Structure 1
Amino acid sequence: MKTFSVAGACLLTLSLMMGSGVAQAKTPPDQLIMGMNMNNLLTLDPAAMTGNEVVGIVVNLYDSLVELDPNRLTNVRPALAESWDISPDRSTITFHLRKDVTFHSGNPLTAEDVVWSMRRLLHLNLAQASVWKSYGFSKTNIDQQIAAPDAYTVTLRLPKPNDPKLVVYSLAALGNLGVLDRKTVQAHEVNNDWGNRWLTTHAAGSGPFTLEVWQAKDVLRLKRNPTYWRGAPKLDRVVLRHFQESQTLRLMIAKGDLDVASNMAVSDVNALRDDPNVTVDAVKKGTIYYVAMSMKEAHFANPKVREAVRYLIDYQGINKALMPGYGVLHQRPIQSGMAATLPDPGYRLDIPRAKKLLAEAGYPNGFDTTLRVLADQPFMNIAIAVQSTLMQGGINAKIITGTGNQIYGAMRERKFDMLVGRGGSGVEPHPHSSLRALVYNPDNSDQARLTNFQGWRTSFYDAPLNKMIDNALLEQDPTRQVALYQAVQTRYDQLIPAMVPLSQMVDSVVVRNEVKNYQPHPSATTWLREVYKQPADAGGDKG
């Protein structure tokens, strides 16, 4: 683990202040300077993106058909689509597009761009295709399922019975169907890659900002789009800077060198709560922190071993000591706050019970394994705590740290033993959103490549459970639907799953008071188009 250098942070701060001639640094009034850890920022291609950090960037480069109201997630607002209709048989959704939208290139945005963007998503079959494959779309049928009857109408036919409301929620919340400028992307295709290589570091959208530069693990700059259809953004630029150390972020925002800081350690966030110049915005998200096991690994294919792991985690201690500001205790796959969510089962650390289960499984002396984890907080502290209690039960887990690509990449390839991670979508206001990401696995073959499904990643598969999830999704009676989703949770728990939920995510962002209209979105789709800066009163600033 890296250590924080006060001297290095001070030099960094001074370098930003050079030429200002003042002790209190100030960011430019027409620029938003944001600090975060960019280790998990691997691509800007909407079809391939993973992680909340990139979603917040993509939604400011691209427009979607519809959006979720951050104040009331069940409220779907128009965006590129002025309106939409659902057919009486619930099989077709028709979107009616605005006629005044142009891409950053100057090309007009039409229904053909929407159709092409959706086709591209399924044909590439990268991370963001998983959600749509769960709805029955695939690269073999997508060309028949989406069409443009005219230049400003898009029809989307569902390949199998589904809840069209959930499909609209997905279009609004995920950010993966940011509509691409097909002509620009096609001009940069190499070997039929649908422009994927080029879009890793470039953009071709119609959003409020254009991509000026991205230097990995250094800086990303967005520039105002003066011809944006909603009106030009209030900010001229948004600058995102990479900081590995949380204490550096704390120092920078306290000094005024940053306007917004995220991915900070709880201790540093708490240290800023009494600072009159900043506000801490905490948003509860549907994402779940978890301990995962691979059922491809012989030990964890045994349900008694998985159950032993269930009792070798100190849920209460972890959430009390490590998770304030990061998450709250939660042991169900469906996020809290929904009518369908069952109360927590109340699992606790129980070493004697775990040892008994391991002995029954044929491992009276335990075994050796590996535990992968991001080299960031709170993941590292969770992993150390889990390692300690696993050891008390006889499981010796060697911790392997790395970047998002190294850790989650191994999980996406189904080549891992154990892993501390965070996932589960939960961005759509619907129980299926959580179940799809954490539980559902319609095809457990390696060839399926359902890389955004944690169920597939862990090789957890139960056909009856998949059927129960399908039936609950299609149930139109609200009371009956709640009962079905509760039955899903009960069976999932009884099967001793390969993923153990620990905590539901809380995202804390520190914002300088000069920044106005910055509203963190529960689905990570935080828009910056209305953000501006207003100088604080002179007496309110610290020298």
Structure 2
Amino acid sequence: MKRRNFLFATTCLPLAALAGRPLAAATPADQLAIGFSMANVLTLDPAGSGSKERTQIITNLYDCLVGIDPADRTRLVPELAESWEVAEDSGALRLTLREGARFASGNPVTAEDAVWSLRRVLEQNLAQATNFRIRGYAAETAGEDFRALDDRTLQIRLPEGTDPQIILLTLAITGTGSILDRKLVMEHETDGDQGRAWLALNSAGSGAYALQAIRANEFALLVRNENYWGPEPAMRRILMRHVPESQSQRLLLEQGDLDIAYSMAAADLESIDDDPAITVQTAIGNGLYYLAMSMADPVLSDPRIRQAVLKLIDYDGINAAVMPYYGVKHLCPVQIGLGGETFDSGIARDVEGAKALLAEAGHEGGLDLSIRALSVPPFDSLAAAIQGSLAEGGIRAEIITGDGETVYGAMRRRNFQMIVGRSGGQISHPDGDLRSILVNPDNSDAAGLTGILSWRVSYRNEEINRLADAALLERDKARQDEMYQQILGLYEADVPPIQPISQVTDSVAMRSDIAGLAISPVWQTKLATVTKDR
């Protein structure tokens, strides 16, 4: 029987190969070849977008002050900070950096680098800034919020009433908490951009690997960081190849040209199930696959239309046919393991009820809408399945596929109707999902809260905002859980513009002689521990 692990819990390659010539089978023992999609890798600046695929690269180039234990996403582990404590007045965190840590450039890692990196996230105000802003930090006060006390000690202000664990978990998010080599970055500053243009295609971290080269929608080549503070990685080079087609990933894996395939479709994973040379590892991951509907759209602003859409979706059928290896059915905006599994959603398929709602809203003959989705699995297949479900009720949904800019760019501009996406808070706490999906501090266009899904879909509920703030301060766990259930009830009553369909599962196929791969539940899989038995 096939050896498949399910975790429910928490090569210097020839340049000719990079140019597109076939690779020789059996990659070198000290070089790793990974197939995945780069369609949503728009920049390698840690302050930029937080897509899964981008995170898979950046987490191996940059360290955070603290990290997430891949076996238990609620547990913090040291990275650049060897220790941390809450100040006596409970107003700040103090973190002590490990002694002797250096960036890949050879420059020492200092507290000044750390505070500059954290301030920079807010000052650049790209997608990762949202993770700080929702916790009470702002570019205007970053100089006081993040301070270096000496070369190895930094202090971070705790917003009033905030659980220190929430801030530490925020610091552990790749991108938000990634620490940059300030000296190297500023050598490449252009017009006051703090190295933003240069960092799109270069790295300046202290991670186990450094970026040697990247070509958009072709490959990213990582080389071992000889100045890495941790144990020396077994792999000298890592080639992350853009192989968006699942069948191509499968064939390359079977031939030995790939060691690991990150994004194979269910059908191809099924087809290799009995191959003794390949192992598939599946784990409950981070995030939710969802259908988002813009409340700024004149049609979808009508709750009857949104309700009709939700009644038409065949949640059971879609999860059974499309989502194996990608996700498991989950209709709650709080993830499995964080309390969402206890919520009893009232959503059920009702085609006739949907038709009645459409008729009541003046669309007895049906209506035309559009769904945007990335042109890679499972997004394209999920969009097609939803399209089929909607058609049974008279909703004709045009599918618009493309890259990250086509899909999420339109969403950030609040210029779309429906989108099939994937998201979720990376904080291992219900509050993380609420801040990512439900809470919207300011719904104005000027607010530009592009990292918050509720802002993107123009949804704001004052009572949900209030209860989320109150729950964060509640120290009685039972009472806090009650408040979160109340929030979920309010959200469902609003006819959710963001409807989760599946909880993400991460399925990784690899050659059976690969060992040491620990899938991170928050997409931050470190490759420094990977070895080959060759």
TM-score range, shorter chain: over 0.9
Task: Tell me if 1:15 matches 2:14.
Answer: no
Task: Tell me if 1:143 matches 2:140.
Answer: no
The aligned residue for residue 207 of structure 1 is 207
Equivalent AA in structure 2 for residue 16 of structure 1: L
Please give the per-residue CA displacement for 1:475-520, whole angstroms capped at 9, x wherever unaligned.
1121111111111111111111211111111111011122221111
Secondary structure in 2 matching 1:491: helix
1:79-478 counterparts in 2 under 5 A?
A: 79-87=79-87, 90-339=90-339, 341-425=341-425, 427-478=426-477
2:118–2:176 contact (8 Å) kept in structure 1: no
Seq. identity, %:
43
Equivalent AA in structure 2 for residue 441 of structure 1: N
Please give the per-residue CA displacement for 1:446-497, whole angstroms capped at 9, x wherever unaligned.
1211111111110111111111111111111211111111111111111112
1:258 and 1:45 mapped to 2: Cα distance? Answer: 27
Query: C-alpha displacement at 1:342, in angstroms?
Result: 3.0
1:384 and 1:104 mapped to 2: Cα distance? Answer: 44
Equivalent AA in structure 1 for residue 482 of structure 2: A
1:407 and 1:459 mapped to 2: Cα distance? Answer: 16
Residue range with higher mean Cα deviation, 113-122 or 264-273: 264-273
Query: C-alpha displacement at 1:293, in angstroms?
Result: 0.6
1:85 and 1:261 mapped to 2: Cα distance? Answer: 40
Task: Tell me if 1:74 matches 2:70.
Answer: no
2:91 and 2:469 mapped to 1: Cα distance? Answer: 15
The aligned residue for residue 6 of structure 1 is none
Equivalent AA in structure 1 for residue 23 of structure 2: L
1:245 and 1:346 mapped to 2: Cα distance? Answer: 37
The aligned residue for residue 41 of structure 2 is 41
2:64–2:174 contact (8 Å) kept in structure 1: no
In structure 2, list runs of 5 or more residues that go unmatched.
Answer: 1-18
Residue range with higher mean Cα deviation, 168-177 or 338-347: 338-347
Residue range with higher mean Cα deviation, 381-390 or 497-506: 381-390
Secondary structure in 2 matching 1:169: helix
Query: C-alpha displacement at 1:289, in angstroms?
Result: 0.8
Q: Against the structure 1 CA distance between its residues 462 and 505, is the aligned structure 2 distance closer, same or farther, given a 3 Å change threshold?
A: same
2:23 and 2:344 mapped to 1: Cα distance? Answer: 48
Secondary structure in 1 matching 2:120: helix
Secondary structure in 2 matching 1:41: coil
Query: C-alpha displacement at 1:274, in angstroms?
Result: 1.1
Query: C-alpha displacement at 1:175, in angstroms?
Result: 4.1
Please give the per-residue CA displacement for 1:284-304, whole angstroms capped at 9, x wherever unaligned.
113111111111101111112
1:301 and 1:30 mapped to 2: Cα distance? Answer: 55
Equivalent AA in structure 1 for residue 386 of structure 2: V
1:145–1:159 contact (8 Å) kept in structure 2: no
Q: Give the TM-score normalised by the residue count of structure 1.
A: 0.92
Secondary structure in 2 matching 1:480: helix
Query: C-alpha displacement at 1:269, in angstroms?
Result: 0.9
2:108 and 2:161 mapped to 1: Cα distance? Answer: 34
1:528 and 1:406 mapped to 2: Cα distance? Answer: 30
1:39–1:403 contact (8 Å) kept in structure 2: yes
Query: C-alpha displacement at 1:36, in angstroms?
Result: 1.1
Q: Give the TM-score normalised by the residue count of structure 2.
A: 0.94
Residue range with higher mean Cα deviation, 395-404 or 119-128: 395-404
Query: C-alpha displacement at 1:341, in angstroms?
Result: 4.4
Equivalent AA in structure 2 for residue 236 of structure 1: R
Please give the per-residue CA displacement for 1:55-88, whole angstroms capped at 9, x wherever unaligned.
1211111111011111122221111111111235
2:101–2:109 contact (8 Å) kept in structure 1: yes
Query: C-alpha displacement at 1:337, in angstroms?
Result: 2.3
Secondary structure in 2 matching 1:222: strand
Secondary structure in 1 matching 2:60: helix
2:47–2:175 contact (8 Å) kept in structure 1: no
Equivalent AA in structure 1 for residue 442 of structure 2: D
Q: Against the structure 1 CA distance between its residues 389 and 430, is the aligned structure 2 distance closer, same or farther, given a 3 Å change threshold?
A: same
The aligned residue for residue 12 of structure 2 is none
Q: Spell out structure 1 runs of 4+ moving beyond 4 A.
A: none
Secondary structure in 2 matching 1:212: strand
Query: C-alpha displacement at 1:134, in angstroms?
Result: 0.4
1:153 and 1:402 mapped to 2: Cα distance? Answer: 45
Task: Tell me if 1:484 matches 2:483.
Answer: yes
2:259 and 2:65 mapped to 1: Cα distance? Answer: 30
1:342–1:489 contact (8 Å) kept in structure 2: no
2:335 and 2:184 mapped to 1: Cα distance? Answer: 39
Equivalent AA in structure 2 for residue 423 of structure 1: S
